[in-house]
Amino acid sequence: MRRVQAAITMAIPTWLAEDTWDTAADTPDPARLDRAADAVGALAHAVRLEILAALGREGPSSYSALKAATTVTDNGQFNYHLRRLDGFVRERDGTYELTDAGDRVRELVLRDGPFADVSNE
């Protein structure tokens, strides 16, 4: 039972919410859970994780350099996935970079190498 509770607690990182829950016993507001679910959903594709990994590896990049650092060849597909990362990636003056949340996700999910399996931790 403790293992299941730990997995559930880790499934919704507190940094995705506007503020943090004091304890695991606190009941989160449904609107906060919806925002967290949206954020997790935005990460639920390998191409999006590849974009985060590329920005972590290459640093701030132009659109063309970022696209070239991934395996995506179709402009429309790349644009779609890049837009889905709003909140994790920002564009400033033609340069894309990780936000603080994007950098934390990259470290959490990808820190042991591209697309690390964090289920063994």
Residues 32-43 have a mean pLDDT of 85
Q: Note whether 43 and 109 are within 8 A (CB).
A: yes
Tens digit of each residue's pLDDT (9 = 90 or more) over 76-90: 999 999 999 999 999
Residues 92-111 have a mean pLDDT of 90
Three-state SS annotation for 78-114: HHHHHHHCECCEEEECCEEEECHHHHHHHHHHHCCCC
Distance CA 66, CA 105 (A): 18
- Which residue has 């696209």 as its token pair? 67
**Measuring CA to CA, which residue among 39, 85, 90 is closest to residue 61?**
90
* pTM, entire model: 0.69
Beta-bridge mates of residue 95: 62, 92
Cβ neighbors of 67 (< 8 A, separation 6 or more) are: 75, 78
Give the CATH number of domain 42-114.
Answer: 1.10.10.10
Q: Give the per-residue pLDDT at 117.
A: 53
